[in-house]
Amino acid sequence: MDLKHTTIHALSNELNAGKISSLELCQAYLKNIDARDNEIGAFLEIDREHMLAAAQEADSRRAAGKTLSAYDGIPIAVKDNICVKDERCSCASKILEPVKSPYDATAVAALKKQGFIPFGRLNMDEFAMGSSCENSAFKTTRNPLDTSRVPGGSSGGSAACVAADFAPAALGSDTGGSIRQPAAFCGVVGVKPTYGRVSRYGLVAFASSLDQIGPLCNDAEDAGIILDAISGFDPHDSTSLPDAAGGFADAARKGLETGSLAGLKFGLPKEYFTGGLDAGVAKVMDETIAKVKALGGQIVDVSLPHTKYAVAVYYIIATAEASANLARFDGIRYGSRQDANGLVDTYYKSRGAGFGDEVKRRILLGTYVLSSGYYDAYYLRAQRVRTLIRKDFEEAFKHCDLLLTPVTPQTAFKFNEKSDPLQMYLSDIFTIALNLSGHCGISIPAGIDGATGMPVAAQIMAPAMGEATMLSAAAAFMK
């Protein structure tokens, strides 16, 4: 069967109509992987035997009329910082290379409960720190649309996996754009849920107040299907929201059915449309705005004045949290340990050999901004500006239902093009504020950049808990 950009809902129909078995489906995806992953490098590891055994179990359940859900037997791939029981979980870092997950992340357990088959771990920037996957300790992942270009990051393996049809969907994580930016670079759909919507239990923490797990997939309905499965309150995550979640796939279906944006007000934050946008991206954004209007959507101008501080604030708060979160990787309790003379030497040598340059840079930066004398000047101040950034969004949402912006200022860049860390950090300028504010956002393919031939994406952002409206609008737009 043709798996090109095949959706979970289409596969579910085929499976439930008996047109294909889960075993055949999994074999077909493995065939794609065998044909091309040598070149693409999306996967760090694939668990074939388990995948095929799980597929056979799903087929038996279906034959007996006992499917776990309409999606029983559909494979899904998982970013390497999300725990899948008994599989390795290295965060693409040498320091965690030997580690196997003792339990399933809540999101993974939720997918398994519906019969989804998590079968492989996807490459990423080490500890999710990066925007190109070039910070992986283990391998290079290439953009399936142009292998001389990066797939984005940090969930670059997840985006490449979906774009190359190695799986219909993948889980990623987004701390400052790591789902939306690679989705944009590879021409797939990616969602960062509202902070607290999806449990972080079993996601290796980078910056705990910003991290969220979310889907990368082929359309808005699939994003809804996965969000329906993985969102909801979890006693294992103290920041998980008590609000009832669900109805996301239905909302997307409704949007697709009507194909209309009538009644929706889209705010254009003027700070996201000033210079700095590549001409090809600006052109697609103009076309996107025209299309939104043609579909009945209303456009209003809004302002997010403190967004200009978002990158600076992020690199204080995210690094501060990372320096605390990564302190546990010390060569003592788990992970790799270097031979050394005594305890402190063990820390030094294990961390020195285990962490890559970017991770060390962040730990140094984060430790610095938290140290006495600098805490007030940097960390505390950044927290205050974070509040201003969040208030900007709340003010903007008083005047519109959704915000419409680009995801990135330029399309997928070439390898080694951004060797200066600051240049790399600035490529997340349109995604980072949303993690600081906690609201939700989706990246959807919107057109092609004439100069590079690479996809350009639009970002739709919604108020907290606004995923249903956001997915419905995304589905209508993508129709």
Contact set with ligand GLN (CB under 6 A): 128-131, 154, 174-178, 206, 318, 428
Select 131 or 405, whichever has its Cβ closest to ligand GLN: 131
132 contacts 152 by C-beta, under 8 angstroms: yes
Relative orientation angle of helices 467-478 and 220-230, to the nearest 10 degrees: 160
Shortest Å distance, C-beta 90 to ligand GLN? 16
For the chain, what percentages of helix, strand and coil (3-state, to nearest 5) are there? 45, 15, 40
Select 205 or 268, whichever has its Cβ closest to ligand GLN: 205
137 contacts 59 by C-beta, under 8 angstroms: no
Select 117 or 128, whichever has its Cβ closest to ligand GLN: 128
455-462 and 170-174 strand pairing: unpaired
Asked if 100 is an active-site residue, the reply is: no
Shortest Å distance, C-beta 434 to ligand GLN? 10
Shortest Å distance, C-beta 26 to ligand GLN? 29
Of 12, 79, 93, 418, which one is the catalytic site residue? 79
What is the spatial distance between Cα 340 and Cα 327, in angstroms, rounded to a whole number?
18
Shortest Å distance, C-beta 362 to ligand GLN? 8
Beta bridge partners of 192: 441
Shortest Å distance, C-beta 330 to ligand GLN? 22
Structure tokens at 41: 């490098």
Asked if 94 is an active-site residue, the reply is: no
Q: Output the 3-class SS for 67-92.
A: CCCCCCCCEEEEECCECCCCCECCCC
Asked if 154 is an active-site residue, the reply is: yes
Of 12, 93, 131, 154, which one is the catalytic site residue? 154
Select 154 or 472, whichever has its Cβ closest to ligand GLN: 154
Select 154 or 194, whichever has its Cβ closest to ligand GLN: 154
Of 22, 136, 178, 427, which one is the catalytic site residue? 178
Select 230 or 264, whichever has its Cβ closest to ligand GLN: 230
| Residue sitting closest to ligand GLN (CB) | 178
Shortest Å distance, C-beta 211 to ligand GLN? 7
Question: CA-CA distances (angstroms) from residue 406 to 47, 143, 287, 410, 446?
Answer: 36, 20, 12, 9, 9
- DSSP assignment, residue 193? P
Q: Output the 3-class SS for 338-394.
A: CCCCCHHHHHHHHHHHHCCHHHHHHHHHHHHHHCCCCHHHHHHHHHHHHHHHHHHHH
Q: Which residue has the tokens 């950049």?
A: 449
Distance of CA 381 to the CA centre of its chain: 28
Residues with a known catalytic role: 79, 154, 178
